[in-house]
Amino acid sequence: MTRSAVEQIRELEAQKAKLISAAKAEAKRKVDKALSELNELGFNYRLVADGHRMPRLKTARAGGRKRRVSNVACKICKFRTVPPHDARTHRGQSKKAPFTKQELAERGLRRA
């Protein structure tokens, strides 16, 4: 009895799926072996299936929101400057104190 073309296609597709599955299993075995060698050397690698993303670590966002300084007196200096600054500008100081005239000039600021 002769098989129809549709039956032949189904059989070929089933064969194809088996071959792809076997090739995938062989490749995964090789990758797992290589990853175990890397992990023994102290690296932390793992295989993740397509579509499963690793959780992102919290990092500084380069394109994130920019903080805006309002044009009010600094809480530490108790005066306004041009361009405006706020208490975040003082974070490099070990003891928070108003800027001197010299420090203002170094930062490109002047009293308003």
Q: What's phi and psi for 106, nearest 5 deg?
A: -60, -35
**Residue 8 located in a structural domain:** yes
In a domain, 55, yes or no: no
Tell me if 41 is assigned to some domain: yes
Structural domain includes residue 3: yes
Considering the domain architecture, whether residues 34 and 70 belong to the same structural domain is answered as no
Domains: count for the chain: 2
DSSP E strands, the chain: 81-82, 110-111
Please list the pLDDT of the chain residue by residue as tens digits (112 residues): 568 999 999 999 999 999 999 999 999 999 999 999 999 999 888 888 777 666 777 766 666 667 777 888 899 999 889 889 888 888 888 899 999 999 899 888 888 8
Q: Please indicate, yes or no, if residue 77 is contained in any of the structural domains.
A: yes
Domain residues for 79? 64-112
Model pTM score: 0.41
The answer to whether position 58 is within a domain reads: no
